[in-house]
Amino acid sequence: MFTSPFSKTCHAASLIVAFAGCATRLRDIEAARQGSASPWRAPLLDLRTAERRVLVDLTGSDSSTRVLIVGALRLPSGRIAAADAESQRLIYYDAGGNPITTIDLGPLGVGAEKLFRVSADTVALTGHSTRSPSAIAVVFIGNGQVLRRFDVADVRGDLPPGVPIVLGVLSGGQTFIGRLQPLRPALGQSRWIDSITIAVVGPDMRITRVLGTLPGVVLAFEDSQPRQVWFAPHAVIASAASTFYYGFGDKYEIAAFSATGETTSVITRSWQRVAVTDADIVAYIDGWGTRWITDTGAVAEARKREMRSDPFFEYVPAFSQFLASTSGELWVRTPHLVDAQWDGELNRVPLAPSEWSVFDHMGRWRGTLMLPGRFLPTDAGSDYVLGIEYGSGRSRKLVAYDLPVEWTSTVR
């Protein structure tokens, strides 16, 4: 369930309490206050009908080829780096969409889960270790030369036991890691939160700061087994060159940390909870079933009835995904429940057009961006947004939309 996701319920410790031990400079940029204080209004950029540029056709003429892209980035040279979790390869494409370098991840011992930018043409691929129960980050420069390999198992310092995760790699050599701790619920407790302890690791592999234990994943019992809660808020992360972001969707609050782990700001916006209705649940089950239930007739209907007893959260989260741009902005995705019909998550393929709030490097809300449905952004700069276009069947393309100059000058 990781997007950089975790999850938590509304009764868990709030972020502001969890961060109480940190030196925090709160920037209250609540949109309602900003709007009432001045006549300025955040602009809307609607790209739903804009012309896109196809950079790479990932399936080409071979309709049987399956790809699972877990990150795609445009490098300063115009090349594209993309990680495919299906073939376990990192592929560099030239500006014409032709592969120029292909790296087999097997010898590096990492199972690809996420590709993100460290700085300029330096990228990091994170995932599980294929050699041991650990988590790995491999940092590449240039055309795919390995700069370094990071293994959580080599970290020196005390952290509680749990599932290891690499959360972010910053340009100064610091790495943010997490340990997800399964909670043993109290007797009679039907829903709980697995927490995550986040720490900063220096270039020498020593823990330099522990941020604390924060909300992780919302779970509930079903048939005496723990399982995720549909539509539940989850923790969301992103990282840029020198900043690490963490938020949890039970409120509109996003903490920005420096490379050393100090809280530099807390981004907030006004937000009202929207209740999850019975109609929402029925629509989700019907849509999800159309995609995943292969049975027909009475058997299919029986499976849908069983899903009605699954645990569902009571309201729609405040956000579901972050995207840190190369120009210093943070993009924050507004959840749409219809998107969960793809694979049960709110941070994956946007089946409906997606809406993103854009905050500048100071944490101020600067505008709202609308993107087409079935387009998942993976990278953004001052004048472009790049992502995966999910076509019919197994068609996948890397496409880009241009951001107009007037929008760029407004949000920066």
Sorted by where each starts, the structural domains of the chain and their CATH numbers stand as 15-276+312-411 (2.120.10.30)
Q: What is the pTM of this model?
A: 0.88
Cβ pair 255, 243 in contact under 8 A: no
| Model pLDDT for residues 146-192, shown as the tens digit of each residue | 999 999 999 999 998 999 999 999 999 999 999 998 877 877 788 99
Cβ of 357: how many Cβ atoms within 10 Å? Answer: 20
Task: Tell me the two tokens of residue 173.
Answer: 């050599």
Residues 6+ apart with CB under 8 A from 216: 6, 7, 8, 180, 181, 193, 194, 195, 196, 235
Which among 123, 195, 202 is positioned nearest to 165, based on CA atoms? 195
Q: Using alpha carbons, select from 137, 162, 160 the residue that is nearest to residue 207.
A: 160
Residue 34's pLDDT is: 36
Residues 251 and 318: beta-carbon distance below 8 Å: yes
C-alpha closest to that of 18 among 222, 175, 248? 248
262 class by beta-carbon count within 10 Å (0-12 exposed, 13-18 middle, 19+ buried) = middle
> Hunting for tokens 């490098």 — which residue is that?
75
Q: Largest Cα–Cα distance of the chain, in whole Å?
A: 60
In the chain the first and final C-alpha atoms are separated, in Å, by 32
**Own/partner pairs for 140-146, CB < 8 Å, 24+ apart?**
140/81, 140/90, 140/103, 143/79, 143/92, 143/100, 143/101, 144/81, 144/90, 144/92, 144/101, 144/103, 146/108
pLDDT at 20: 28
Q: For residue 14, what are its two tokens?
A: 């709030």
Q: Which residues of the chain have pLDDT under 70?
A: 1-42, 60-65, 411-412
The 3-state secondary structure of the chain, one letter per residue: CCCCECCCCCCCCCHHHHCCCCCCCCCCCCHHHHHHHCCCCCCEEECCCCCCEEEEECCCCCCCCCCCEEEEEECCCCCEEEEECCCCEEEEECCCCCEEEEEECHHHCEEEEEEEEEECCEEEEEEEECCCCCEEEEEEECCCEEEEEEEHHHCECCCCCCEEEEEEECCCCCEEEEEEECCCCCCCCCEEEEEEEEEEECCCCEEEEEEEEEEEEEEEEECCEEEECECCCCEEEEECCCEEEEEECCCCEEEEEECCCCEEEEEECCCCCEECCHHHHHHHHHHHHHHHCCCCHHHHHHHHHHHCCCCECCEECCCCEEEECCCCCEEEEECCHHHHHCCCCCCCCCCCCEEEEEECCCCCEEEEEEECCCEEEEEECCCEEEEEEECCCCCEEEEEEECCHHHHHHHC
pLDDT at 60: 64
Instruction: Give CA–CA dist 402/317, Å, rounded.
Output: 29
Rounded to whole angstroms, the Cα distance separating 161 from 210 reads 14
Identity (one letter) of the amino acid at 206?
Answer: R
Helix axes 297-307, 278-292, angle to 10 degrees: 130
At 173 the pLDDT is 94
pLDDT of residue 327: 92
d(CA 308, CA 311) in angstroms, rounded, equals 8
**What per-residue confidence (pLDDT) applies to 188?**
75
Rounded to 5°, the CA angle 99-375-333 comes to 125
What pLDDT shows up at residue 41? 61
Separation between Cα atoms, residue 354 and residue 323, nearest integer Å: 13
